[in-house]
Structure 1
Amino acid sequence: MHLSGRGVAMSVFASLIFAVIPGYALYLGPLDGVQVFAQRILWSLPAVFVLLIVAGRISMLKEALLRLVREPILILALLLTAALLGVQWLIFVWAPINEQMLDLTMGYFLMPLSLVLVGRVFYSEYLRRLQRIAVCFAAVGIIHELWVVGGLSWVTFLCAVGYPPYFMLRRWMGFDSFSGLFLEMLLLAPVAIYLIVNYAPADAFSIAPQLWYLLPGLGLISAMAFAAMLGASHLLPLGLLGILSYIEPVLLFFVSVFWVGEIIESGEWLTYIPIWIAVVLVVFDSARVLLKQSRRLN
């Protein structure tokens, strides 16, 4: 498969899995959002290591460690990416538990536009005609939401602006997606241990024994989804990655309404319909490009 085809497939896979995680977090009581975040970090760490082995990337992990020794500036960059990642992972499981799912969804609607802007300003990336039209439709929906609500919540803001600098740093660092994620998990692990030791309910696993298999499952799907998203970020232009990222908030919207049970006011449909049109245009455009690529290969 062509590199951009692989990138599109990985991005869609990541969006599908990420959309499941907020609903999944609702079944992890009596843990609150912070404890789910801490447990997610600890259970994701072995899952990412197993994926490293299965994918044959151990040599790349060794190379990344050697680069950290040779280039100390990368250690500072890794600390920053770990912090940015930690904030996003915390919000992602805290929001549904605290009835902030729609704010989270709006943040992920805004985040792709942030990626498109970063790709255009910092990497001189250009969008095809249908992609530009899709961005315009998405912008109409978002502007309507801003007009109706009158501003952005802190959850929405952090989701919208957190990932672009993360992806830029990861691209500059040049680490393999699995290796970089594993190193970030290692840096976040002490924070997770501290939160669990000092603040976790002592009888959580006796009250809810299903946590023994639900938490490892959360770690596994988190690792797979994030590794796929990072792989897509290395294979695709940031502009295209940003457009494809609209698939995730559309799915999160359905999770918010039909799984979490949040209510959409009648006026808010004018926010979501233009964005859904944008997604349809993106899917059509991507499918057309991939079809042309396959014809050239054949």
Structure 2
Amino acid sequence: MRRGLLAAAGAYGLWGLLPLFFRLLHHVDPVEIVTQRVLWSLLLILALLALRSGLPPFLAALRTPRLLLPLAGSALMIGINWLTYVWAVNDGHVVAASLGYFLNPLVVVTLGVLVLKEKLRRSQMLAIGVAAIGVAILAASALTTLWISLALAFSFAFYGLLRKLTPVAPMTGLGVETLLLTPPAIAYLLWEASHGSVGFGQDAPTTALLIISGAVTTVPLVLFAMAAQRLPMATLGLLQYLAPTLQFLCGIIIFGETLSGGQIASFGLIWLGLILFASDSFITARRNRLATA
């Protein structure tokens, strides 16, 4: 549990600061940014697997249909999520993207209850209800960009569910997902190169940022996969509010996006829900320790 909490905090903290990174690549086609993320991530992952003697399990997973099929599904979900997110950030919709990740924990908790049959305590249900009201207010104030938020919320929720249900090590699974995304990524880059509009090689800073995008992609995903295997879906879902909170602050404070009164009210309700959930988790953990002692 402790390792899962640390991994989740690291993943969501890094994701929360991603708008700052991708805004530096605003002049590059969003699809190319995603394809470059795929290719450089694959090289990094293969190197890490080789260093950790992880290539045999990686190759075994590629030959196992019961692992390959769900990983193909999770690869599709993360591909949709990446493309939507990069486009939203570079088109000036950071707040809408943050709303998607505010919505995501509610979808995650719902999947945990409906699919995994996880049980919620009454206090947890109250916390989620308060946060849901806040998200509903936030959604109502941004209807024109709600499709961005919904695409991000549902794609990442199903990604997390598929990874939780797939019995494969985090790095191995991420390697398979990235490898499955590589052929369409290469095909797009070849098509783009034939039209003379590739950003890679355009100048040194752009090229360096595209290469770094591999590490920026891989590290939080590995941390998230570790957390998904160690934490209940409800806990994982509520912790995820850290990432959209940071994204939300980036959009408002750094990029100057507008903030309405309704959005301010919803923000307060979401954090109230988080405080209630965290308090319940702390009290329950303390009670369990005392009972064990």
- Per the alignment, residue 48 of structure 1 pairs with 45
Residues 1:39 and 2:33 aligned together:
no
Deviations 1:15-43 (A, max 9, x none): 01111222201112431211111111111
Unpaired stretches in structure 2, ≥5 consecutive residues: none
CA distance in 2, matches of 1:297, 1:42: 48
Query: Contact (CA 8 Å) 1:57, 1:178: kept in 2 or not?
Result: no
- Choose the corresponding residue for 2:265, options 263, 270, 275: 270
Unpaired stretches in structure 1, ≥5 consecutive residues: none
CA distance in 1, matches of 2:10, 2:285: 16
Name the Cα RMSD after superposition: 2.6
Residues 1:233 and 2:248 aligned together:
no
Residues 1:66 and 2:60 aligned together:
yes
- Per the alignment, residue 76 of structure 1 pairs with 69
User: Does the C-alpha gap of structure 1 residues 292 and 192 become closer, same or farther in structure 2, counting only changes over 3 Å?
Assistant: farther
Report the CA distance between 1:67 and its aligned residue. 4.6
Deviations 1:119-174 (A, max 9, x none): 11122212345433321221111222344345762211111211232223223321
Report the CA distance between 1:79 and its aligned residue. 2.1
Residues 1:107 and 2:104 aligned together:
no
Matched residue of 2:204: which SS?
coil
Matched residue of 1:123: which SS?
coil
- Per the alignment, residue 179 of structure 1 pairs with 172
- Per the alignment, residue 26 of structure 1 pairs with 23
User: Does the C-alpha gap of structure 1 residues 289 and 223 become closer, same or farther in structure 2, counting only changes over 3 Å?
Assistant: farther
Report the CA distance between 1:87 and its aligned residue. 0.6
- Per the alignment, residue 210 of structure 1 pairs with 205
TM-score by length of 2: 0.88
One-letter code of the match for 1:226?
Answer: L
Deviations 1:29-78 (A, max 9, x none): 43121111111111111222333345x360xx523532543x42433322
- Per the alignment, residue 152 of structure 2 pairs with 159
Deviations 1:239-288 (A, max 9, x none): 11111111111111112112333111233212211012223334444555
Indicate the larger mover: 205-214 or 259-268.
205-214
Indicate the larger mover: 139-148 or 127-136.
127-136
Query: Contact (CA 8 Å) 1:111, 1:159: kept in 2 or not?
Result: yes
User: Does the C-alpha gap of structure 1 residues 31 and 295 become closer, same or farther in structure 2, counting only changes over 3 Å?
Assistant: farther
One-letter code of the match for 1:212?
Answer: T
User: Does the C-alpha gap of structure 1 residues 63 and 6 become closer, same or farther in structure 2, counting only changes over 3 Å?
Assistant: same
- Per the alignment, residue 243 of structure 2 pairs with 248
Query: Contact (CA 8 Å) 1:250, 1:276: kept in 2 or not?
Result: no
CA distance in 1, matches of 2:123, 2:47: 40
- Choose the corresponding residue for 1:134, options 109, 120, 127: 127
Query: Contact (CA 8 Å) 2:58, 2:175: kept in 1 or not?
Result: no
User: Does the C-alpha gap of structure 1 residues 198 and 276 become closer, same or farther in structure 2, counting only changes over 3 Å?
Assistant: same
* Aligned length, in residue pairs: 291
- Per the alignment, residue 87 of structure 2 pairs with 94
CA distance in 2, matches of 1:28, 1:238: 33
TM-score by length of 1: 0.87
Query: Contact (CA 8 Å) 1:18, 1:222: kept in 2 or not?
Result: no
Matched residue of 1:12: which SS?
helix
Deviations 1:180-214 (A, max 9, x none): 10111111112222222222555735543112322
Residues 1:189 and 2:182 aligned together:
yes
